[in-house]
Amino acid sequence: MAAIKLKVSLHPALQVPFKLSEAEETFHVDVNKTIVALMDDCEDMFEAASAKAGKRLELQINVLWNTKDHKKALNPNEKVSMHFANGDSFGVYGDILPLLDVEAKIQTKIYIV
């Protein structure tokens, strides 16, 4: 299982009310992982970092790209190895939302239906 080191770059339009540390921005990723799994890892990191900063926020990533080609959104079902080499950076864009607890999420879904 080969792993590579990648660094996340949040799109400048995202209004992040805290600073990510170098360690939080760095990912050690199995090359056989899918892009969607990398998105999930990044969302998990953001949630943990926001909690550490005293915020309750989540990031819902809509698009991820290799920063070497910022005009090409990556297919979530493809493998990391198809698009990245060790030391590359990836950009993400999405929505930053208040983190709801599980009960609030269930109630929200019930009201929407």
Return the pLDDT at 86: 97
- Indicate the pLDDT class of residue 58, thresholds 50, 70 and 90: very high
H/E element, 41: helix 35-52
- Indicate the pLDDT class of residue 102, thresholds 50, 70 and 90: low
Is the pLDDT at 59 greater than 60, yes or no? Answer: yes
Mean predicted confidence (pLDDT) in 69-91: 97
What is the CATH code of the structural domain delimited by 3-112? 3.10.20.90
pTM: 0.86
Return the pLDDT at 100: 81
Q: Please answer whether residues 9 and 90 qualify as being in contact, where contact means their C-beta atoms are separated by less than 8 angstroms.
A: yes
Is the pLDDT at 57 greater than 60, yes or no? Answer: yes
Three-class SS of residue 23?
A: helix
Mean predicted confidence (pLDDT) in 92-97: 98
Cα(39)–Cα(63) distance, integer angstroms: 9
Each residue of 1-24: pLDDT tens digit?
A: 699 999 999 999 999 999 999 999
Residues ≥6 apart with Cβ < 8 Å to 4: 28, 29, 31, 80, 84, 85, 86, 87, 88
> Domain segments of the chain: what residues?
3-112
Mean predicted confidence (pLDDT) in 84-110: 82
